[in-house]
Amino acid sequence: MRLVSTVTWEGEGSWFGGFSGLELSPDGQEMTVLSDRGTLVQVNLIRDNGIIQALDPQRYNSFFDQDGSALGSDFRDVEGLAMSQDGMAYVSFEHAHRIAKLNIQSGRTQDLPGHPDFAKLSENTGLEALAIHPDGRLFTLSEAAADESGTTPLYTYDKGRWQISHRVPLPGPFRPVGADFDDHGRLYLLERAVTPLGFRSRIRRLDLNASPLKAETLLTSFPAAFDNLEGISVWQDQTGATRLTLISDDNFFSLQTTQIVEFALTE
C-alpha cells in the first residue's frame, strides 16, 4: 500500500472539527463527513493529477430526530457513516448507542431496531465502525476490547434485525473505529491504538466468505505517524486502483489536527 497524500484541513465555525464518519463519491471528487457534535458536511475535493490540493465545503446540516426536533447533546455523538450506491445513508451514534437511517438533505434520522448487546456497551466503546455491503446489508462493530476469546462480534443488519454474523480476531492493542467495503465485498477495517507517544493506526482487509475468517493486515503505523484516524472510505480512481481515504478526529482540541490521508493499493 502506497501513501498518496496527507492534507491538513483547517476551518472555522462551530461546524468544523471532530470528524469521524467519512464517505467519498465513487469518483473521489466529493466527500461527506460527520462531526461528533451532530453535523454533516459536504465538501468538494480539489485534485491535481489525483492528489488533493484543497477542500471546498459546500453545505453543512445538523441532525434531527424523525419528527424534526434537534438532537440533544447526549444523543448527537455521531461516529460512523455508510452510504449505498443508490444514495441510502445510515449513521452510528455513541453514548446513546444506536444505528439510524439518515436523510442527507434534511438531516432527519430514524432509529433502527437495536441488538441487545448495544445496550450493554460502555459510554466510550460504542458503535464507531459502520459499513454497507454492496448487497445492501449493514455491518457494525463496537470499539470495545476483544473478549476472552480474543475476538469481537461483527453485527449484520438484514431483513429488519441484527445478528452476529462473524467474530473478528482482534490482536494487539488496536480497536475498531471505522469500516468500509470495496466493490468485491471485502471489508476494510480501520483500527486505532492510543500510546504515550501518540496514536497508532492499523488497516486490515477481511474476506467474510473465508472460513475461518481471513484478515490481511495492510498497514500498521508507528506512534504519531498520523493523527487520530477514525473514518475510512474505499473507492476506485480513474486508473482502476483502489484508494483508501481516511480522516482524523481532532476532538476539538487545539493540539490535534484534521488530516485527510489517502493510500493507494499497489496489488
- CATH number of domain containing 183: 2.120.10.30
**For the residues 79-107, what does the mean pLDDT come to?**
92
Cis peptide before 57 (omega within 30 of 0): no
**Number of other CB atoms surrounding residue 58 within 10 Å:** 10
The pLDDT assigned to 12 comes to 83
**What's the mean per-residue pLDDT of the chain?**
94
d(CA 141, CA 187): 12
Q: For residues 128 and 143, is the Cβ–Cβ distance under 8 A?
A: yes
Residues 6+ apart with CB under 8 A from 128: 20, 79, 80, 92, 94, 141, 142, 143, 176, 177, 178, 230
| Range of lowest pLDDT (5-14, 45-54, 222-231) | 5-14
- Beta carbons within 10 angstroms of residue 33's beta carbon: 26
Residue 246 cell numbers, joined? 481516511
Q: How confident is the model at residue 151 (pLDDT cuts 50, 70, 90)?
A: very high
- Mean pLDDT for the stretch of residues 166-183: 96
Query: b vs e for 103-141, b when ≥16 Cβ sit within 10 Å of the residue's Cβ?
Result: eeeebbbeebebbeebeebeeeebbbbbbbbeeeebbbb
Would you say residue 77 has pLDDT above 80? Answer: yes
pLDDT of residue 161: 96
The pLDDT of 145-159, averaged and rounded, is 93
Averaged over 2-18, what is the pLDDT?
Answer: 92
Instruction: Show the cell assigned to 89.
Output: 445513508
Q: Which amino acid is at 235?
A: W
φ and ψ at 70, to 5 degrees?
-60, 140
What pLDDT does 221 receive? Answer: 98
Under a CB-based contact definition with an 8 Å cutoff, are residues 226 and 199 in contact? yes
Kindly state the cell numbers that stand for 83. 452510504
Hey, what amino acid is at 193? A
- pLDDT band at 235; cut points 50, 70, 90: very high
Residue 188's pLDDT band, with cuts at 50, 70 and 90, is very high
Q: Identify whether the C-beta of residue 159 lies closer than 8 Å to the C-beta of residue 138.
A: no
Pairs from 118-124 (Cβ < 8 Å, separation ≥ 24):
121/97, 123/94, 123/95, 124/94, 124/95
pLDDT at position 113, please?
96
Farthest CA pair distance, the chain: 48
Q: What Cα–Cα distance (Å) separates residue 228 from each residue in 61, 198, 200, 215?
A: 24, 9, 8, 22
Task: Give the model's confidence band at 74: pLDDT under 50 very low, under 70 low, under 90 confident, else very high.
Answer: confident
Mean pLDDT of 87-101: 93
Query: Which structural domain range is residue 96 located in?
Result: 2-264
Per-residue pLDDT, 242? 97
Q: State the pLDDT at residue 73.
A: 82
Q: What gap in Å lies between CA 178 and CA 238, rounded to an integer?
A: 25
pLDDT at site 41: 95
- Tell me whether strands 89-93 and 78-83 are parallel, antiparallel or unpaired: antiparallel
Higher pLDDT, 94 or 244: 244
| 127-135: average pLDDT | 96
**Between vectors from CA 223 to CA 218 and to CA 228, what angle results, nearest 5°?**
80
The total number of structural domains that make up the chain: 1
